[in-house]
Chains A and B, each alone.
Chain A
Amino acid sequence: MKASAFAYARPTSVPSALELLVAYGDKAKVLSGGQSLMPAMNLRLISPEFIVDIGELAELRGIVVKGDVLTVRALTRHVDVLRSPEIATHAPLLRDATSHVAHPAIRNRGTLGGSLAHADPASELPACMVALGATVIVCGPRGERRIPAQEFFTGIYETALSPQELLVAVELPVARKDSVHFFHEFARRHGDYAIVGLAAQSTIVDGQFTDLRLGFFAVGDRPLLAGAAGKLVNVAVTPEVLANASAVLGEELDPQEDQQATPAMRRHLAKVLLQRCVSTLLSRADLQSGVPAR
C-alpha cells in the first residue's frame, strides 16, 4: 500500500523543528531515517497529518568522545556505527549489535535515534542502551532532559518522549579497558526480528564477574535489564549458581506470544542465551551443559 496524504516540512535547525512539534503535537511524526516509520505509514498502521523531516539537521550528526563519555547523535546511521573507529573502541557491544539490525540497504538509512524513539521491543539497540547504562538526551520546548535508558523505554513502541520533544543524542560511558561483552540473538534469518536476544557487558577479575549487565530484548514489552545478573556477580560461578540465576531470570521475564514463538519458547531461549553468555564471557566450557526445559 501507499502512505496516506500528509503535509511535510524539513526544518533546518533544532529550534525550528521543535516549533513545528509544539504546533502540531501528536498530529505530527518525526521522520529520521524512515526505516520504521515509512513501513508503518505504507501499511496504514499510522497516518500522521504532518511529517517533520529532521534529515537536514546537521547538528544531530556525529560521534564524539570526550573524556569518559561517548556521545552518539541521533541521526547517526547504523552503517555509520558499523564503520566508526570510536564505536569499535569505546562501545564494541553496540557495533556487534548493529550488525544484526536489518539488512545493508536498511542500515544505510536507519538511524540510532530513530530506532530508540521507535522503541520496538524486539530491537537490538534499546537493549544495548540499557546494558551500557546510556543516557538519552531529548530537547523540548522547556529545554533539555537527560533520561536514563532504563526509564526511557516504557512499553511497546512507547517511550518517555513527549510529542513536543526530539531525541537528539545518547551518551554512553566509554567501555573500560577490562570490560568484555557478549551479543547474540535468535532469529529465523540474519537481519530478521529477533525471537529473543541478549546484549551484555561485564567486567571480570580473577574469573569472577565484578559487574554484569544483561540487556534482554524481545522478551517483554521493553528491553529488560535482568536482575538475575546479581546472582552471578562476585561469586564463583558453578553450574548450581548459574541454574539459580537462570530460574530467577525465568521469573523476571514476561514474554509475549506472536507468530514467531510462544512465551515458553522465549523463556527457554532466554535461558539458553544466559548460559551461553556466562560460559563465553568466563571462558568456562563446563557451564555449557543443557538448559532444563521447564
Chain B
Amino acid sequence: MTPVPIFLEVNGERIDTHVLPRLNLADFLREHMKLTGTHVGCEHGVCGACTVRFNGEIVRSCLILAVQAQEGSVETIEGLSDSGEIADLQAAFRDRNALQCGFCTPGMLMAAQDLLQQTPEPDRKKIREHLSGNYCRCTGYQAIIDAIETTARLRAGRAT
C-alpha cells in the first residue's frame, strides 16, 4: 500500500502531505501534525474524545480517513483555543470544575461549542442530548452541563 497525496487545511494552515489510506484523521492530527489535543479513546466512534470540526461541522476524527479529508478544512481544539473562540467556555469549565482528568474535555468543548452555535440558549435537556455522544468518566456530567448553561446565558446577555 503506497501513500496517497492529500492536501487539506488544518486550523487555517494549508497542509500538503502523503498518507497511507488506512490512517484515520485522529492519528493524522496527533502523529503527523503533532496536534495531541485531539484524544483517541475508543477508536470506534463511541466515546467522543476525538471530536473535531470538519468543514464547520463536528465529526468523529477516528471514523474519517485522512484521505477523506482531502480538500477539506479541519479545526481542532488547538485552533478553537488559540483563536479565543471558546475562551469563555473554557473559563466556565474551569470555574465549575467541569473537568478532572481532562481526557474528554477537548471533545466536550467541541460538542458544546457546536451546540451553542446552533442553539444560543439550550435548556439542560438539549445540552444533555447534544453531549450524549461524549463520555466523561470523572465528573458525572452535572458540572459540564452547568458550565455550558452558564456560558449560554452569559453569551445571550452580552448579545442583548
Q: Tell me the A residues contacting B by CB distance below 8 Å.
A: 1-8, 10, 31, 34-35, 38-39, 42-43, 51, 53, 55, 79, 102-106, 108-109, 189-191
A292 and B59 alpha carbons, distance in the complex (Å): 44
Closest to B63 in A: A38
Closest 7 pairs between A and B when the two form their complex, measured CB to CB: A103-B133, A8-B21, A39-B44, A38-B63, A108-B57, A105-B58, A5-B1
Q: State whether B22 touches A3 (Cβ < 8 A).
A: yes
- Interface SS of chain A: loop
Residues of A within 8 A of B63 (CB): 34-35, 38-39, 42, 106, 109
Residues of A within 8 A of B46 (CB): 39
Residues of B within 8 A of A105 (CB): 48, 51, 58-60, 111, 133
Q: State whether A189 touches B132 (Cβ < 8 A).
A: yes
Q: What are 15 of the A-B contact pairs (CB < 8 Å)?
A: A2-B24, A2-B43, A8-B65, A8-B67, A34-B63, A34-B65, A35-B45, A51-B21, A104-B114, A105-B51, A108-B54, A108-B57, A108-B58, A109-B59, A109-B63
Q: State whether A34 touches B68 (Cβ < 8 A).
A: yes
Q: State whether B64 touches A53 (Cβ < 8 A).
A: no
A10 to chain B, nearest CB (A): 8
Residues of B within 8 A of A79 (CB): 57
A-B pairs with beta carbons under 8 A, tally: 93
Q: State whether A42 touches B58 (Cβ < 8 A).
A: no
Closest to A3 in B: B22
Residues of B within 8 A of A39 (CB): 44-46, 63
A244 and B67 alpha carbons, distance in the complex (Å): 55
Within 8 Å of chain A (Cβ to Cβ): is B96? no
Q: State whether B20 touches A103 (Cβ < 8 A).
A: no
Residues of B within 8 A of A10 (CB): 67, 70
Check A38/B22 contact, CB under 8 A, given A6-B1, A109-B63, A189-B132.
Answer: no
Q: State whether B22 touches A2 (Cβ < 8 A).
A: yes
Within 8 Å of chain A (Cβ to Cβ): is B129? yes
A63 to chain B, nearest CB (A): 18
Beyond A34-B63, A104-B58, list 18 extra A-B contacts (CB 8 Å): A2-B22, A8-B65, A34-B64, A34-B68, A38-B44, A38-B62, A38-B64, A42-B43, A51-B65, A53-B65, A103-B132, A106-B45, A106-B60, A109-B59, A109-B60, A109-B63, A109-B64, A191-B133
A177 and B134 alpha carbons, distance in the complex (Å): 39
Closest to A53 in B: B68
Residues of B within 8 A of A55 (CB): 68
Residues of A within 8 A of B129 (CB): 190-191
Q: State whether B22 touches A104 (Cβ < 8 A).
A: no
Q: State whether B45 touches A38 (Cβ < 8 A).
A: yes
